[in-house]
Structure formats: C-alpha cells, structure tokens
Amino acid sequence: MIESLNLVEQQIPASISRRGSMRILTENVTCGIKITGNDEITMQGNVINIGYEGLVAKLSEALTISQRVYITIKLPQPYGDIKLEGRVMWISMDKDKGFLAGINFFVFENQEKLKPIKDFIYDNINNVKIIDRRKGEKRAIGKKELNNLNNQRKRERRLQKPIFLKCIRYNRMKRLMNENIYFYLREIQSRSGNRIIVKGKELRNFGSNNYLGLTSHPLITEAAIKAIEKYGVGSGGVRVLSGTMDLHNQLEKKLANIKSGEDCIIFSSGYNANVGVISCLINKDEYVIIDEKSHASIIDGCMLAKANMVVFRHNNMIDLEKKLQKIPANVSKIIMTDGVFSMDGDVAELDTIHSLSQKYKAATYIDDAHSTGVMGKNGKGTAEYFNLEGKIDLTIGTLSKALGGVGGFLVASKDIIHYLKHNSRSFVFSTSLPPATCAALLKAVEIIETEPIWHQKLWQNINYVTKELRGLGFDIRKTESAIIPIIFKNDDSTYSITKELEEAGIFVSPVVYPAVRKNESRIRVSIMATHTENDLHYFLEKLTKISRKNKIIN
C-alpha cells in the first residue's frame, strides 16, 4: 500500500513530461508500499512521477509484475487523500541500484476516483516548466540515427489520428534492426525439424518447442492429408453451432484419457485456453494465488476476471503457505502455476502445492504446456511426474508443442467442461480447429502412447546436454526439462552470441527483458528427440568456442 506522497506546496515539480499521458515529475517525494497478502512489509521509496493513470516509484526492493496493490495518496490541501487500487505493470533496475516500478491505477468504470489527481495536475500545470526531452537527442546520436529520428518526427507531424502515435514512437525493435541484431519474426522456409532453412541457409534448430519432433512424423502427415480429402480444410463454424465434427469429440476423449480426467474442452490456442477458462470460472470476489513466473496468459486471464490476485515467490512453498494463511478460510480460492516454466525450464513443486491445496481448501490449476509429452514416465505431464494423476482439478495443455500441431485444451470434471462449453467466450465465439489438425493430433497422441522411443530419445538428449553445459560452467539455472536457459545477463552479449551462433549454423532464440527480469538475458535452448549426436556435439562445440571468446566461461 502506498501510504502517502506527502506533497507540499513548495515541492510542486519544476517540469512535466510531454509524452503519453500527463505526468508531473516530482522530487523529494517519498512513498511506502504494501502488497495485499504480505506480512505487512512496507517498502520505502521515492515517487518519480504521478499522472492520471498511475505513478512511477523508486524502491529499495523489487515488486513483481502484475501484483495488485492498494494505494493511498496524500495530496496537499485542498485535494486531500485518495484511496485507489493499482497493479504493477513494469519493473526495472535503477542506475543507483534501486528498483523502478510503474503502477497503474485500477479504477475500472469509476473514473470519478481520479478527480482529485486530475484537479491537482490541472491546477498546477501553469507552475511548471515544460521540458521537451527530445531536444537533447541530436547531441547524443549519430547521423544515421538522427535521420531516422527526423523521419519519425515527420510522420508524427503528418499523423491525423493520435491513437496511433504510440506505434510511430515504438523504436526498440527498430534499433535492433538498424544494428543488425534483430532475431525475431525470422522466416523459416522448411519444416520445423532438427534442421531448418533460414534465408536459404540450413541451420541446426535449437529454438523449437517441437520437443518430440512430431510436426513432420510421416504417420501424422498422412493422417492430416486424409482428413483434408474427407473433411476439407475448415470446419465452417463455432463448436456450439455448426463446427463440431466427430474428430473434435474423439480428440477431446483422447486428451481426457491421457491426463486421467473425466472430460476435455479444446480451444484454438493455449493462450485462449488460459484466458477463456480463468475469465469464465473466476469471479472478482474470489482469489487466485499464482507463481510469480506464471505464463502471461494466466496473468491476462486473471486480469480479465478482475480477480483478487495474490502472487507467491517463484516455487517458494513457504511463501505460498504464508499467502494462503492470509486469505479468509471461507472464500473461494485456487492455486495456479505452470508445470514447466517456459523461460527457466524448472518444474513446479506440484506435490507440495497439492498438499497445501488440501490443507487450505483451494482448487488446483496447472498449465502443462511444456510438460505434455515431456514430463512423467510416459510423457503424460507434471501430474504423472509427481504421481498425482487424476488429483488436479484443472489441467491446461497446448497442442502446439510436443504434440506438434496447434491449439489448447483443458481437462477437468464433466460439470466444469459442460459449463465452459456454453459460457467461455474464447470457446463459444471461436471457429473450431480444422479437421486436418484434429486428425494429426489424434495420431500424435497415439504415437506418444505406442512409440515410447521418442520420449526416451528426448530425455537421453536432455540429460546429455544439461550435464555437458553444467560441466563447462554455463549458468543454466535449475532446468529439469527440454527447456535449457543459458544465462548471459547482458542484452548485448545475448544478441551478439545469438548472431555468432546463427553465422555458425545454429538457430537459437534470444530472450531479454521484459520477457525475463533485468540482468537475466539468455538464449533459450530447446532440445528435441530428433536431434542427432552430431547436432548436439556441433552445438556444444560452437557455443563453447563463442562463449569463451566473449569471456562468458573460462
């Protein structure tokens, strides 16, 4: 909770930001922050700026993105105290080793609550000196960058629809393109296998979620072709009206069986599954308790549901129990987590989570996107890995990773699935999966069940690469899955090594803030069952050579 801003007459700021919403820049203004559900721990800091939509505070400790906070702002008289809810939208490291946090006010339809802040800014706008932050840019950039900036300003002056101004001013990726270190939206000109073609060049692929290599399995390809010949390329409608085919029902039955559940619902993507399930099942007076590194789609679903979101420290079961103890015993609550975390490759402590859910009467929700086909003795997911099959209330999965297709699903009780099929907006209002995709996925599930060699080969490759990387001194954190993060911390080093690896014939994906925390930049390596010994040896050889040259390892 932000206790107070203690603004006084002589502390009215001397400058105001021109970009975006109106923001008054402040000096010597302190704040205290408390997080809902914490042990009343107060963070002291300074308010950098405050505006209509939120504020920026400098703190001694980091907050967590998406945390919900209660805010009390004490403005000078006659404006008085204002009480608002807020959510942490971004965090970053400050140059003085502090943390900056951007907190948006959470007012929904009640904009009247913001009136005192708007009055304060409006009444004091004539007392501030307007600073154009762009004036200094000419002195700090080169000729090429200056030409780009001038072209941008010309586009801004011609812009007649201000809503698109943010698009013109989004320069982060343009800078990477200009510096030839842009590695996003790369065009692949072949199948997504252990070898791919990019810009006409063959690369060894270590950036795919196709863990079992099933995207090009001949039996799966054949099943898809036969389905097109029989059903055509599309379903022609949404599931509840005219888009349910026999293939959809067969696939849902198969998925429910592999996850040891009663029933299943298929969505058009894993993202739509999380958003559609959470926003439909959770009400604003109910509590969701999520791991701080949960996938963005879980966070977005919680925000759409306007739920009381409580965040516990990553895989910290002591902190999870503390959060559960703070929630009233008689309210509805659910614990949500990824099974395998997409950027770190570590596994949720599902056995402890299940025990705590029983103790505190909370439902359980696990996103098995990177677990299905990978974790467990037979590749059935995190629940199988912890011998908890059939004991998790809600299991989300994707059809686009180890299964090699596209889509998402939820396995749960028949009553829950029946309710979602008639009320979840991302299901009811989305055209159903194409029949060829369903046929391919049915064959993929069959292969997982009848050809264990792919699961065995995947883990043979995972164990070999992780052992070698740790032995060489790479920081790969606590990965226990097909996802191996190789931490370089510095963004420039991450992009430089990605570029050198690509030049050496290796495709990997760089991941930097805000996808991961500041100073945790990495390349995200994905291991596949179809990687050959030659692929793995070549990757390790080139990575080691390039990393030693860049002084990442000795």
> CB count, 10 Å around CB of 107?
14
Angle between helices 270-281 and 296-305 (to 10 degrees): 30
Radius of gyration from C-alpha coordinates of the chain: 26
370 is catalytic: yes
509 is catalytic: no
Sheet holding 506-507, edge to edge: 195-198, 201-205, 506-507
CB contact at 8 A, 178 and 145: yes
Structure tokens at 367: 């996103």
Tell me how far apart the alpha carbons of residues 224 and 219 are, in angstroms, rounded to a whole number: 9
3-state helix, strand, coil in the chain (%, to 5): 40, 20, 40
242 is catalytic: no
CB contact at 8 A, 50 and 5: yes
CB contact at 8 A, 121 and 24: yes
Concatenated DSSP letters of 306-333: T-EEEEE-TT-HHHHHHHHHHS-TTS-E
Tell me how far apart the alpha carbons of residues 88 and 56 are, in angstroms, rounded to a whole number: 10
Nearest of 383, 402, 347 to residue 527 by alpha carbon: 402
Query: Counting Cβ atoms within 10 Å, is residue 131 exposed (0-12), middle (13-18) or buried (19+)?
Result: middle
CB contact at 8 A, 211 and 482: yes
Long-range contacts, stretch 301-308, CB < 8 angstroms, 24+ apart: 301/274, 301/275, 301/276, 301/277, 302/66, 302/278, 302/336, 303/66, 303/87, 304/275, 304/278, 304/279, 305/278, 305/279, 305/281, 306/108, 307/278, 307/282, 307/283, 308/36, 308/68, 308/284
Please state whether the peptide bond connecting residue 514 to the residue before it is cis, i.e. omega within 30 degrees of 0.
yes
Three-class DSSP category at 550: coil
Largest CA distance in the chain: 77
Euclidean distance between the first and the last CA atom of the chain, given in angstroms as a whole number: 46
Active-site residue, from 295, 401, 455, 531: 401
Active-site residue, from 279, 297, 342, 432: 342
Strand 68-74 with 363-367, pairing: unpaired
Active-site residue, from 248, 293, 370, 531: 370
Helix (H) or strand (E) holding 51: strand 43-51
Three-class DSSP category at 296: helix
Query: Counting Cβ atoms within 10 Å, is residue 526 exposed (0-12), middle (13-18) or buried (19+)?
Result: buried
Active site residues: 342, 370, 401
